[in-house]
């Protein structure tokens, strides 16, 4: 690389996973090679304002963002410049060659930001609009997996309106799905935000109301006495799977607290599972990634039933956590790709994906 690449790292965002994004961004920024990249930090507030300046991440963590500058990126092909906003005046701040979104959840991982980059015709790291939106939507993702004969746990979907209009009916249908425990999840959310393991009707009522805080659609899912197995995938057109790892959560399940707060969950890499099970989850991971037209990266989570040995694909994360304790980079380190090299590969894959998009003809003459 003879010339430095201008890379914009975006973090924060309008999501319940805002704080997780800040943790992930710190890890990514710590390994980006300043000899290869000119790094532009862009923090997105809870309200959706884009801010840049000096030590943006530190300012977001401390909450002292008053000295940062508001910036915009025009959604116009051919103008890859970031502009500062001063009253009614736009001033060029920096050009962006590739964007690295380190945002989890809504307005970052769900295809909305990816669509913005597509409009601006800028290369970006990770999955495109389709894969991002399908991966984020737990209910739709399950339907796609069923179509591809990849096993998933039984579930139903209800809406916030249904809860408000007829909670008794929702409780009835939930209990008809399976015995307790029942898991309740916001359809569009990650990092275990809003997820409840319900052991009785009182828990279920509380869990439904909590999930409805974070999305208008709620997934109600059969509880599995399962081991939590995770696989990382890397690539565009020939994706590869890492070794599988196992999470031994410190909580009753791998909750937000177990992931990010108490720091006492155990990660076992590689997972102590039979060789044929290892191959099976790796195969399912790649198939799931390809089924939704994944690109760049994903972490795929499985449940291995302790009672029957059955494997169920739980979910696919198109922007997995990048914190110091996150499985995605740890699994690739165990598979022979150290963290700094992994980040370099992800950036290269984003640029490769953009080159492929550029081959599409935008005009048609019949």
pLDDT at position 24 over 50: yes
Q: Which residues, 6 or more positions from 170, have their beta carbon under 8 angstroms from its beta carbon?
A: 158, 162, 163, 208, 220
Beta bridge partners of 41: 9
Q: What is the mean pLDDT of the chain?
A: 92
pLDDT of residue 1: 45
155-222 CATH: 3.30.1490.20
CATH architecture of the domain formed by 5-124? 3-Layer(aba) Sandwich (3.40)
> Each residue of 110-126: pLDDT tens digit?
999 999 999 999 999 99
Question: What's the pLDDT at 249?
Answer: 78
Edge-to-edge, what's the strand order for the sheet holding 196-198?
155-159, 217-222, 182-186, 196-198
In the chain, list all ranges with CATH 3.30.1490.20.
155-222
CATH top-level class of 134-150+225-356: alpha beta
Range(s) within the chain of domains with CATH label 3.30.470.20: 134-150+225-356
pLDDT digits (tens, 9 = 90+) for 59-90: 999 999 999 999 999 999 989 999 998 888 89
Query: What is the per-residue pLDDT across 198-253, written as a single tens digit (0 to 9) for each?
Result: 999 999 999 999 999 988 999 999 999 999 999 999 999 999 999 999 999 765 64
């Amino acid at each position: 690389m003879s010339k430095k690449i201008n890379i914009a790292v975006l973090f924060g965002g309008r999501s319940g996973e805002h704080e997780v994004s800040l943790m992930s961004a710190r890890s990514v920024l710590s390994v980006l090679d300043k000899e290869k990249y000119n790094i532009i930090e862009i923090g997105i507030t809870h309200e959706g304002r884009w801010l840049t300046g000096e030590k943006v991440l530190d300012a977001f963590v401390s909450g002292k963002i008053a000295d940062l500058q508001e910036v915009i990126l025009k959604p116009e092909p051919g103008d890859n410049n970031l502009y500062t906003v001063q009253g009614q005046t736009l001033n060029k701040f920096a050009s962006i060659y590739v964007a690295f979104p380190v945002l989890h959840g809504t307005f970052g991982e769900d295809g909305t930001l990816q669509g913005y980059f597509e409009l601006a015709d800028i290369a970006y790291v990770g999955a495109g609009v389709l894969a991002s939106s399908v991966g984020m939507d737990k209910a739709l993702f399950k339907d796609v997996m069923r179509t591809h004969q990849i096993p998933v746990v039984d579930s139903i979907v209800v809406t916030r309106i249904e809860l408000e209009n007829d909670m008794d009916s929702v409780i009835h249908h939930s209990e008809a799905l399976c015995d307790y425990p029942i898991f309740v999840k916001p359809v569009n959310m990650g990092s275990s935000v809003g997820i409840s393991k319900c052991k009785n009707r009182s828990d279920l009522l509380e869990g439904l109301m909590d999930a409805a805080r974070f999305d208008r659609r709620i997934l109600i899912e059969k509880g599995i006495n399962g081991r939590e197995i995770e696989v990382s995938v890397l690539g565009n057109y020939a994706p590869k799977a890492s070794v599988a790892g196992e999470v031994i959560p410190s909580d009753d399940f791998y909750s937000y607290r177990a992931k990010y707060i108490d720091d006492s969950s155990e990660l076992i890499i590689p997972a102590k599972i039979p060789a044929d099970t290892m191959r099976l989850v790796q195969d399912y991971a790649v198939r799931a990634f390809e089924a939704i037209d994944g690109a760049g990266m994903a972490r795929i989570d499985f449940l291995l039933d302790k009672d029957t040995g059955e494997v169920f694909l739980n979910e696919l994360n198109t922007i997995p956590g990048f914190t110091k304790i996150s499985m995605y980079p740890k699994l690739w380190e165990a598979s022979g790709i150290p963290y700094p090299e992994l980040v370099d590969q992800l950036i290269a894959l984003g640029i490769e994906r953009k080159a492929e998009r550029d081959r599409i003809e935008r005009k048609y003459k019949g």
